[in-house]
Structure 1
Amino acid sequence: MHRAPGEYHISVKELPASERPRERLRQLGADVLTNAELLAVILNTGTRGESVLDLAQRLLVSFGGLVGLARADLVTLQQFHGLGEAKAAKLKAALELGRRLALAQPEERPVVRTPEDVYTVAGAEMALLEQEQLRVVLLDTRNRVLRTVTVAQGHVNGAQVRIAELFREAIRANAPAIVLLHNHPSGDPTPSHADIELTRSAVQAGQLLGIEVIDHLVIGHGRFCSLRRLGLGFPNS
C-alpha cells in the first residue's frame, strides 16, 4: 500500500486498552461493539501500515456493509487487499454461522402479513441502490421470512428475467410462498407495464409449481407500491 510521506496509521496495540476491540468486548460485551470492531476481532490482524480496525472499516465500505459482505463469495473475499485465504475463510465462516443462527431461531424471523412488513425486510436498503435489483423473499408456512435472495440486477423486466430463476431457491428451500421485491432507482415506485407483466407471469408459474406469489413490491425513495394492493398482475385482487 502506497502512502504519502508522513502519513501514519496507528496500530491497535497503540490504542488505549479501553479502545481495543477485543478488550472492549471482554469488558462491555459484544453487543456494544460496532460492526467494524466485531470484524476486527474476527480478523485479528491488519496489514503492513494499516490497523485491523482500518481494514475492517475498509471492508464494510467496499462491500456496502454487512449485507454486501455476507453475499460475497470466498474467491472475492480472498482477492480483497488485506485478507488472503486464511482471513477470508475465517470471515466467511463467521458470517455463515450468523446466517445459520438466524435460521435456527424461527420465532425471531420477521413475519410478513402486509406490504409494510415486506418493506421492513429490505425496502429501506433497496431504496438506496443505484442499480435496479430484483429480490425474492422466501417465506415458510407461517409467512415467516426464511431468507432473501437477489435474482437479477441491472434493467429488471419480464423479458430479461427468467421466471425459473424467481422460483429456484424457493424450490430448494421448499418454501410455499414468495414475495417479489425490486427498486426503481429513479425514486418513483409507480409500477411499469413490464413490472405488471412480470408479476402476472410469476403468479401463473407459481400456481403450476404450488408456490404462492404473495405480492410484488416496487421500491422508490422513501415509498413503495404493492401490486397486489393495486390489483395489478394478481387475479381477483
Structure 2
Amino acid sequence: MQQSLVDLQAYDTRRLKHRRLIKEMPVDEQPYSRMDKVGLPALSTAEVMAIALGNRDGLDLATDIMARKKRLTAIRSSTRHELAQEPGVGEVTARKLLAILELGRRFSREEALNQPRITSPADFANYLMADMMYLEKEHLVVLTLNTRNYITGEHTVYIGSLNTSVLRLAEVFQVGIRNNAAAILVAHNHPSGDPTPSPEDVNVTRQLVAAGKLLDLELLDHIVIGHHRYVSLKERGLGFD
C-alpha cells in the first residue's frame, strides 16, 4: 500500500513536470479557439473547466481533476482544503473551482424559479397543447408542481388507450413522489381531435383523485386535449366528486 502511494505521487510529479501549457498547443486545439469554433456545449467538461480557471496549464490540470473525481458533483462536495491537496491544484484554484460550481448551482436555482406557473386550466392546456394535440396515439402526461404551482417536471407515463384495466395508478404518483411534488396535474390527448371526456376518462379521474387523497398528493386537474381545444374535468366536475 505504501509503495503504491509512493508510485502515485511520483506519477503525479512527472505529470506536473510535463504538463502542456495551453499557449503551447496548436491554436485550433486550444479551448478558447474551440469554444469560438464549435461553441461551449460541444466542449468536454475538462475544456470548459480549463477556460473557466484561466490557468496557463489549465487543460491538463482540468483533465487530471476529472480523471480522479469523475463527476462535477464529487468536486462540489469536496471541501476547499481537500481540493487544494489535489496535485497541481492549490488554494487559489480550489477557490476558483468551488466558486464556478456555486455559480452553476445558483443558475440552476434561478432557472427553476423561472419555470412556468399553472394558475388555471387554460395555463395547463396551453403549456401542453402544441406538443400533444396532433399525437397519433393517446399519451398520458403528468406535470409535477411545487407549493407555488410552478412546474418542476413533465413526464409521459403511459401511451395507449386510457382505461383503468391497463393504467397503473402507482406509476402516475411515483412521478410525483420521486420529484417531491406538492401536487400533480394529469393530461391526455384524444387523437380524434375531440376532447370530450369519455366515461372511462371520468372513471380514471375518479380513481386518481381517490389515490391522491390516500397518498396526500393532490391531483389538481385532469384535462383532455384535442385539436386546439381542451376540456378540464375539474371545471366540469367530472371525477372530482
Tell me the TM-score normalized by structure 1: 0.57
Q: In the alignment, which residue of structure 2 is the partner of 1:188?
A: 194
Q: In the alignment, which residue of structure 2 is the partner of 1:42?
A: 42
Q: In the alignment, which residue of structure 1 is the partner of 2:168?
A: 162
Q: In the alignment, which residue of structure 2 is the partner of 1:233?
A: 239
CA pair 101-118 structure 1, distance change in 2 beyond 3 A: farther
Aligned equivalent of 2:222, options 196, 216, 222: 216
The CA deviation string for residues 28-86 of structure 1, in whole angstroms up to 9 with x for no partner, is xxxxxxxxx989x739xxxxxxxxxxxxxxxxxxxxxxxxxxxxxxxxxxxxxxxxxxx
Work out whether residues 102 and 109 of structure 1, in 8 Å CA contact, stay in contact via their aligned partners in 2: no
Q: Does 1:197 align with 2:187?
A: no
The CA deviation string for residues 78-136 of structure 1, in whole angstroms up to 9 with x for no partner, is xxxxxxxxxxxxxxxxxxxxxx9666523211111101111122222100211110010
Aligned residues: 149
CA pair 194-106 structure 1, distance change in 2 beyond 3 A: same
Give the whole-Å Cα distance in 1 for the aligned partners of 2:42 and 2:140.
Answer: 32
Runs of 4 or more, structure 1, over 3 Å off, are 100-104
Give the whole-Å Cα distance in 1 for the aligned partners of 2:156 and 2:39.
Answer: 26
How far the C-alpha of 1:149 sits from its partner, in A, is: 0.4
Q: What root-mean-square deviation, in Å, do the aligned CA atoms of Structure 1 and Structure 2 show?
A: 2.8
CA pair 42-129 structure 1, distance change in 2 beyond 3 A: farther
Q: Secondary structure at the match of 2:186?
A: strand
Structure with greater Cα Rg: 2
Q: What percent identity do the matched residue pairs reach?
A: 44
Q: In the alignment, which residue of structure 2 is the partner of 1:115?
A: 121
Give the whole-Å Cα distance in 2 for the aligned partners of 1:149 and 1:104.
Answer: 22
The CA deviation string for residues 152-191 of structure 1, in whole angstroms up to 9 with x for no partner, is 0021222211110110011111101000010000000000
Give the whole-Å Cα distance in 1 for the aligned partners of 2:237 and 2:132.
Answer: 23
Work out whether residues 129 and 225 of structure 2, in 8 Å CA contact, stay in contact via their aligned partners in 1: yes
Q: In the alignment, which residue of structure 1 is the partner of 2:150?
A: 144
CA pair 159-38 structure 1, distance change in 2 beyond 3 A: farther
Work out whether residues 140 and 176 of structure 1, in 8 Å CA contact, stay in contact via their aligned partners in 2: yes
Give the whole-Å Cα distance in 2 for the aligned partners of 1:206 and 1:38.
Answer: 45
Q: Secondary structure at the match of 2:224?
A: strand
Work out whether residues 153 and 179 of structure 2, in 8 Å CA contact, stay in contact via their aligned partners in 1: no
Give the whole-Å Cα distance in 1 for the aligned partners of 2:130 and 2:39.
Answer: 24
Unaligned runs of 5+ in 2: 1-32, 44-105
Tell me the TM-score normalized by structure 2: 0.56
